[in-house]
Each structure stands twice: as C-alpha cells, then as structure tokens.
Amino acid sequence: MVFKVEDLWVKVQGHDKYILKGVDLSIGKGEVHVLMGPNGSGKSTLLKTIIGMPQYKIARGTILFMGKEINNLQPYERAKMGIGIAFQSPPRIRVKTEYLIKLITTKFRTRLLPYEEYGISHLVSRDLYNGFSGGEMKRTEMYLTILQRPKLALLDEPDSGVDVDSLALIAKGIEQLMEEGASILLVTHLGYILKYLDVVTELHVMINGKIVYSGEPEKALDLILTHGYSYFVKGGD
C-alpha cells in the first residue's frame, strides 16, 4: 500500500467544527482514485491535510505514506518523500515561472519536460500565475507536479474552469503520471476529466467530511449524474 488514511479527523485552525470526520482511504501503487462530492464536503481539505498545510490540524487518525506515519512532517518533507500536489487555486507569486521550474528540477533531480507538450511555452517567462487564464494555471500546476516525479499525486480539481483544449492536455498529464507508476488521488467536482481517463480504480463520494460511497467508477458516476449528490446524503434508496 502506497498510501493510507485511517479515521482522519481534521479542523481548520481557529475553528471548532470538524471538516473531516473520520476519513478512511487506501491507495495502492499505480492506482487512480477519484474523489467527488458537493462544494464544502471536505475534498480539498483532505488533500491539503495530506500534504501538510499548516492551518489544517489533525485531531485524530493517521496518514501513512510508504509505510510511514507522516502526520507530523513538514510539507517539504512530505514532498521530498514523493507526494506532489496540484492546487485548485494556487497563489500568484512574483517569481518567474521558469525560475521555479529550474529550482524544482534541481530539488527533485529530475529532467526538464518540453514546455510545448504541456501548452506552457508562452507562460514560462512570466511571473507565476500572474494574469494566467484558468486553463493556463491548471496546465502549469500540472506541469510542476509531474516535474517532481511524485509517487503519489494529489490533483485538486484540475478540470474546473478550463476550456476543452486544456482539459485534453491535463488528461494527457494524468496519463503520463500513470505511465510513470504514480498513484493518483484526483478530486473533481463535476467529473469532466473522467471522460478522458480510461482506467480509474475506484470512485469515492465525500459528503459532509466522510466518504459515504466507494465503488466502481462508472456506476457511481451514473448515480451522481442521475440523482445528484442528494442520493448519497440520504444514504441511497
């Protein structure tokens, strides 16, 4: 097992309410897991907790990566171990994109990937995410994640707010991660990206901080598209 969370309870710093309320999830090597759910159900919180963003506080439960508990590791230690994250809305940073790309290849001792294949050639000389369109931002974030050669890739809504061309490029990126043997945890709100992906191991539905359904992707997607998430809230008829 590459990755496992057990009974994970998480609060956001300064708030009393739990966002995650006992999440269990296991991902094997090379598996692709899709996590869906309504807005505010805790999908992004789960990814940010896994990478170790400081404002997400674990109250209970463990996160295991490559057989090791990583609850108390710094984000950069988790990244160095092989966890890569593509954020849903990364901040704009006053640093040249190409400069950061070079630093990442140095840090992870990886080779540069051709910009044109990811549709970012025209972006690398600009400040990171400064005036990028939705698609440009997601493509760049995907590129940076692949560049790390992660063992586990956390992809937070790479398909939201992007055009069809970007969607195809992002799907290609996910396929590349799969070919390289990475395990993937993909969060998607509407599931657009699933049309482009051949092999999905499992689809999970998260409602109100809990995974309420895990199963064969086509069937689950069919249920979501026909009945909406309310079907899962009710616990299924």
Site for other proteins in 101-140 (CB under 8 A): 103-104, 107-108, 127
3-state secondary structure string across 80-146: HHCEEEECCCCCCEEEEHHHHHHHHHHHHCCCCCCHHHHCCCCCCCCEECCCCCHHHHHHHHHHHHH
Cα–Cα distance for residue pair 31/198, rounded to 1 Å: 12
Radius of gyration (C-alpha) of the chain in whole angstroms? 17
Q: Candidates 32-40, 90-98, 166-174, 218-226: pick the segment binding other proteins (CB under 8 A).
A: 90-98
Residue 152 forms beta bridges with which residues? 83, 183
Q: Which is nearer to other proteins, 107 or 219 (CB)?
A: 107
Where in 33-72 is the site for other proteins (CB under 8 A)?
51-54
Nearer to other proteins, 99 or 236 (CB): 99
SS3 for 16? coil
Q: Determine, following the binding rule CB under 8 A, whether residue 99 of this chain makes contact with other proteins.
A: yes
Identify any residues that bridge with 25 across adjacent strands, giving them in sequence order.
5
The residue from 1, 59, 95, 190 that contacts other proteins (CB under 8 A) is 95
Q: Which is nearer to other proteins, 53 or 197 (CB)?
A: 53
Which CB atom, from 103 or from 225, has the smaller least distance to other proteins? 103
Which alpha helices (DSSP H) does 32-71 contain, by range?
Answer: 43-51
Distance of closest approach, residue 168 Cβ to other proteins, in angstroms:
25
Q: Is 98 in the site for other proteins (CB under 8 A)?
A: no
Nearer to other proteins by Cβ, of 101 and 203: the residue is 101
Strand order in the sheet with 68-69: 18-27, 3-12, 56-65, 68-69
**Which positions lie near other proteins, rule CB under 8 A?**
51-54, 74-76, 79-80, 85, 87, 90-91, 93-96, 99-100, 103-104, 107-108, 127, 144, 148
